[in-house]
Chains A and B, each alone.
Chain A
Amino acid sequence: MKKLITLFSLLLLTTFAQAEDVNWQKIEEKAQSQTVYFYAWGGSQDINNYLRWADKRLQAEYGVTLKHVKVTDISEAITRLVAEKSANKNSNGSIDMVWINGENFKSMKDFNLLTEPFVTNLPNWQYVDKSLPVDSDFAEPTLGLEAPWGVGQLVFIYDKNKVDNPPQSHSEMLVYAKSHPNKLSYPRPPSFHGTSFLKSALIELSENPDALYSPVDDTTFAQITAPLWSYLEDFHQVAWRQGKQFPANSAETLQLLDDGELDLAISFNPNEVFSAQANGLLRDSTTAYALAAGALSNIHFLSIPWNAAAKEGALVAINFLLSPEAQLKKADISVWGDPTVLQSSKVSSSSQKTTLFKSISEPHPSWQIALETEWQKRYGH
């Protein structure tokens, strides 16, 4: 009996989703009093507080409860989904919503862990700035399987009182490091920021950067990446701790910058420097900038697992997080400072303080693993 009901509701759901004109009102009705378990990185108290706010607003407006499940790494959620898949748990799963991009998205997509395409059904989709690369995630087509949530840009942070002319390119970084030994470094790959640093350097140094936007080809990999490795050979000799140690992540580079050990910290949020100053993590004389060629940019997304129990609730929550109200609040530098994905006319002036740097798009996700593996082989031990 129970199984029949599940089957029946599953059938209903699928026909529901396939229908051309989705009745959003019905979704909102069904979402009433649902609890959405949202798996998202829990390392930043700014973000956690923002989600506490979103939960309050969602409860008041739609009767949807948003429970933030704090993970140290979103792949913990993927492990759980794999376990659910192994047990054939195709409905009533425990995760309703995830915050992902890049490799994690590709994994979930490849193993069919995501729900059917939903993005264009969201009423607030109309406000999204389509000139941003919202339909591809690290060169992987999103196919409507995930909704954009915010923009990340690879920036560097320095102290204006200590450094007059911060290096404007990776080549200048090498020059700078030679005259200021022991003062520059990057997070250790395969941490997200570390690999991003490698990609950014590779895009600048490679003679054939176009090749980075299609899947890695084993025969040309060595030739394309050769300039990167010879660059790193030189860089490590004058880097922090002679390249024998690396900071663990972006947060540690901020700490080391504040401690005066490093001259440049690395971040994916151009506004992080403001919240870090407000929080007392960094001096007021610090500022963020992008390299002259532009900042490696990506979009981070929200998505729904195939077996989510509160699918409607998740849709309502994602739609709310895409609303001008929620995006404005998120972009507020005293809250989180994450740049909006909406068209600028839809969000009022105060968040427009956030200007994005010229952007460089992310290479194909296969480069991620290839670069990490090669780096590990050369410098990991």
Chain B
Amino acid sequence: MNGSIQKISFHFLLVLAILVCFTPLLPGLLGLLFSAFSYIPALNMQNFSLMGFSELLLWPGLRESILITIFVSLSSTFLSALLAFSILQSCWNKAYWKKLESLLAPILALPHVAFAIGFAFLFTPTGFIARLLNTLFNDFSITHWSLINDPYGLGLILGLTIKEIPFLLFMSIPLLKQLNVNSTLMTAQSLGYSKAQTWQKIILPQWLPKIRFTLFAVMAYSLSVVDVALVIGPTSPATFPVLIWQWLNDPDLATLPKASAGALSLLLMCLVLLYLIRFIEWLTIVKYRSWQTSGRRALPLAGKSALLVTYVISLTPLPLLILWSFAQRWPFPELFPTHWSLRFWQQEWSFLWGIIGNSIFIALISATVALLFAIIIHEHSTRAMADRQRFVVPRLIISIPMLAPQLSILFGIQVATLFIAHQYYYLWVIWAHIFFVFPYVYLVLDGPWRSYDKRLDMIGLSLGMSPFKVWWKIKRPVLLPTLCIAWAVGISVSLAQYLPTLMLAGGRISTLTTEAVALASGQDRRISAIYALLQSLVPFFFYFLAIFASQKTGIIINQSTINKRSIAHHVPDSKESDYY
């Protein structure tokens, strides 16, 4: 009896999760397709045509823009994966690794826009580095270089790479905890392989397939990013998503088909590149894997210096933001502000609380719901794959909200909400947040869920526990660190949502991000700095909480409630050592 209720409620939740997380896709994609093929009745465009695409092709500079976009996203994805791996190789299981894990929080929490603003403060020809060089060498010509808005997108590549490394490291923590890194190292070293060789020839081929989905996210993000590219990206021409964004924002509404055609092409481009990544992975790990056995060479990877650079570049902007928020005047080439003032904080103070409250409220609800749904869909997929027959939610569909340009999908969603009942602003905004947060939460859980040792479940079941009890008493505690982290990721993704909040709230709801982006358009560094700081502090708080919780909730601690011996027997050694 009890079991069937559990079964029914599980199926109810599954259907609900699928409905909530995937129904927005339909109007979203339809809206995109219709407008790309010039069918927009509100603008008196009643016939399907290829006008949008032909206008797109005729746009001068399209080829350069697409090439630079692909160059930027491929190189930043490749570089961040390479550097993240080299950091893991050098630092994993070192004495300081535990500390390093907790120290990832501040750089992960830094939202992309805030990071980009800080990055620009550092690297413009009148930025902090230029000021420093100028003071040291007293030579103005030293600042005649630019890494911001440079024509080859090098600044953008560097910025994205630095921002993605911590994300990849963060996502690798639960994965590596599931791989038997320690015993692998011991076995390989007893066979005469060095540590670097072991990492590159044995652990890399295991790490790569597990981190694949994360790499997809990194790739898709770097391909379609608008806000960061606007701040530090190339301008002549701008990257493709920036162009689409500008067309979508063009007051001349006739450019809408061109913009949507661009958005659709971007989506297709993204799919092609994702397959390319998958293909490269297949080539190196399945097809031509002789490198794994063909000798004992290992690439010298400077993981520690990569880590140091990542930290320095990621964290220097924070004190700069603090300085700017208290600066009344800070002219070039002064190293510090010449006039200080509290007035910007005083002026904003009374408005901040409501805004922070709104942001946290929406983030908490959407991250929690997304987490619940992600668990349910993962559970379903695990069982469905064991059965080999039942319906499995395709990953591609799950990842569409992450891969497709937000603006184009949102237009369709917005129209749909207007048809139903547009005045439920909070409902729609939270729904849209769940929709965009869900794939990230799903992604964080993906590796650990796959690597979960099913034998643990079998033991529980053999002891006569109900499936739900097995889940609650065994699987949940084992995966709790991952769950905490997924929750924090969900919160930070929700906090960073700009367009969904703006477009579905009809201006009724302001969050830290909507304010920060609106203010950034005015380029007053002092006010922008305040909002960028707060935008970073709020997710930082939740990341810190999650990391703290994940360190306090190792599997062994939770075993006290269940049969200690039977579990401990099946837990590989490396896990124990990882948690202690």
Q: Which residue of B lies closest to A283 (CB)?
A: B331
B166 interface hit (Cβ, 8 Å):
no
B residues within 8 A CB of A70?
Answer: 510, 514-515, 518-519
A280 CA to B332 CA in the complex, in Å? 13
- Whether A258 contacts B332 by the Cβ 8 Å rule is yes
A351 CA to B256 CA in the complex, in Å? 42
- Whether A259 contacts B126 by the Cβ 8 Å rule is yes
Which stretch in A6-14, A78-86, A209-217, A332-340 binds the other chain?
A78-86
B residues within 8 A CB of A261?
Answer: 125-126
Q: Which residue of A lies closest to B68 (CB)?
A: A381
Residues from 494 to 515 in B contacting A, C-beta threshold 8 Å: 502-503, 506-508, 510, 514-515
Residues from 72 to 122 in A contacting B, C-beta threshold 8 Å: 72-76, 78-80, 82-87, 89, 92, 94-95, 102-104, 106-107, 111
CB distance from A243 to the nearest CB of B (A): 9
A residues within 8 A CB of B256?
Answer: 82
- Whether A244 contacts B253 by the Cβ 8 Å rule is no
- Whether B506 contacts A94 by the Cβ 8 Å rule is yes
B359 interface hit (Cβ, 8 Å):
no
Residues from 170 to 227 in B contacting A, C-beta threshold 8 Å: none
B residues within 8 A CB of A179?
Answer: none
CB distance from A98 to the nearest CB of B (A): 11
- Whether B524 contacts A87 by the Cβ 8 Å rule is no
CB distance from B27 to the nearest CB of A (A): 11
- Which of B40, B126, B253, B522 lies in contact with A43, CB distance below 8 A? B522
- Whether A381 contacts B522 by the Cβ 8 Å rule is no
Assuming the A-B contacts A83-B414, A258-B331, are A45 and B523 also in contact, with contact meaning beta carbons closer than 8 angstroms in the complex?
A: no
Chain B 519-547, CB within 8 Å of chain A: the 1/0 string?
11111111100000000000000000000
- Whether A37 contacts B235 by the Cβ 8 Å rule is no
A residues within 8 A CB of B249?
Answer: 73, 75-76, 79
Which stretch in B11-19, B58-66, B80-88 binds the other chain?
B58-66
- Whether B60 contacts A252 by the Cβ 8 Å rule is no
CB distance from B17 to the nearest CB of A (A): 27
- Whether A381 contacts B331 by the Cβ 8 Å rule is no
A141 interface hit (Cβ, 8 Å):
no
A245 CA to B59 CA in the complex, in Å? 19
B residues within 8 A CB of A381?
Answer: 60-61, 64-65, 236-237
CB distance from A116 to the nearest CB of B (A): 19
B304 interface hit (Cβ, 8 Å):
no
A residues within 8 A CB of B230?
Answer: 248
- Whether A45 contacts B236 by the Cβ 8 Å rule is no
B341 interface hit (Cβ, 8 Å):
yes
- Which of B65, B330, B422, B507 lies in contact with A89, CB distance below 8 A? B422
Residues from 157 to 191 in A contacting B, C-beta threshold 8 Å: 188, 190
B residues within 8 A CB of A343?
Answer: none
A22 interface hit (Cβ, 8 Å):
no
Q: Which residue of B lies closest to A43 (CB)?
A: B522
A292 interface hit (Cβ, 8 Å):
no
Assuming the A-B contacts A37-B507, A70-B515, A80-B506, are A281 and B253 also in contact, with contact meaning beta carbons closer than 8 angstroms in the complex?
A: no
- Whether A69 contacts B332 by the Cβ 8 Å rule is no
Residues from 254 to 303 in A contacting B, C-beta threshold 8 Å: 254-255, 258-261, 279-281, 283
A residues within 8 A CB of B519?
Answer: 42-43, 45, 70
B residues within 8 A CB of A246?
Answer: 235
- Which of A244, A281, A380 lies in contact with B524, CB distance below 8 A? A281
- Whether A111 contacts B43 by the Cβ 8 Å rule is yes
Residues from 285 to 332 in B contacting A, C-beta threshold 8 Å: 327-332
B149 interface hit (Cβ, 8 Å):
yes
A326 interface hit (Cβ, 8 Å):
no
- Whether A107 contacts B253 by the Cβ 8 Å rule is yes
- Whether B237 contacts A111 by the Cβ 8 Å rule is no
A245 CA to B235 CA in the complex, in Å? 7
- Most chain A CB within a 10 A radius of its CB, from B60, B411, B517, B525: B60
Q: Which residue of A lies closest to B256 (CB)?
A: A82
- Whether A259 contacts B332 by the Cβ 8 Å rule is yes
- Which of A72, A95, A259, A380 lies in contact with B518, CB distance below 8 A? A72
Chain A 17-53, CB within 8 Å of chain B: the 1/0 string?
0000000000000000000010101111100010000
A254 CA to B328 CA in the complex, in Å? 15
A154 CA to B289 CA in the complex, in Å? 65
B residues within 8 A CB of A39?
Answer: 507
B252 interface hit (Cβ, 8 Å):
yes
Assuming the A-B contacts A245-B149, A280-B328, are A83 and B415 also in contact, with contact meaning beta carbons closer than 8 angstroms in the complex?
A: yes
Q: Which residue of A lies closest to B237 (CB)?
A: A381
- Whether A252 contacts B523 by the Cβ 8 Å rule is yes
- Whether A280 contacts B523 by the Cβ 8 Å rule is no
B560 interface hit (Cβ, 8 Å):
no
CB distance from B532 to the nearest CB of A (A): 14
A residues within 8 A CB of B135?
Answer: none
B250 interface hit (Cβ, 8 Å):
yes
- Whether A251 contacts B523 by the Cβ 8 Å rule is yes
- Whether B329 contacts A280 by the Cβ 8 Å rule is yes
Chain B 340-379, CB within 8 Å of chain A: the 1/0 string?
0100100100000000000000000000000000000000
Assuming the A-B contacts A252-B523, A259-B332, are A87 and B510 also in contact, with contact meaning beta carbons closer than 8 angstroms in the complex?
A: no
Residues from 211 to 254 in A contacting B, C-beta threshold 8 Å: 241, 244-246, 248-249, 251-252, 254
Sorted nearest first, the 8 A-B pairs with minimum C-beta distance are A43-B522, A381-B61, A69-B507, A94-B506, A42-B518, A280-B329, A87-B418, A251-B523
What are 17 A-B residue pairs whose CB atoms fall within 8 Å in the complex?
A41-B521, A43-B520, A43-B523, A44-B522, A45-B344, A71-B518, A75-B249, A75-B251, A76-B502, A83-B42, A84-B418, A107-B251, A245-B151, A249-B523, A255-B523, A280-B339, A380-B237
Taking A82-B42, A107-B253, A376-B59 as given, write out 10 further A-B residue pairs in contact, using a Cβ cutoff of 8 Å, ordered by the A residue number.
A43-B519, A72-B518, A75-B249, A86-B40, A241-B146, A248-B235, A254-B523, A258-B332, A259-B331, A261-B125
Which residues of A are interface residues toward B (Cβ below 8 A)?
Answer: 37, 39, 41-45, 49, 67, 69-76, 78-80, 82-87, 89, 92, 94-95, 102-104, 106-107, 111, 188, 190, 241, 244-246, 248-249, 251-252, 254-255, 258-261, 279-281, 283, 369, 376-377, 379-381
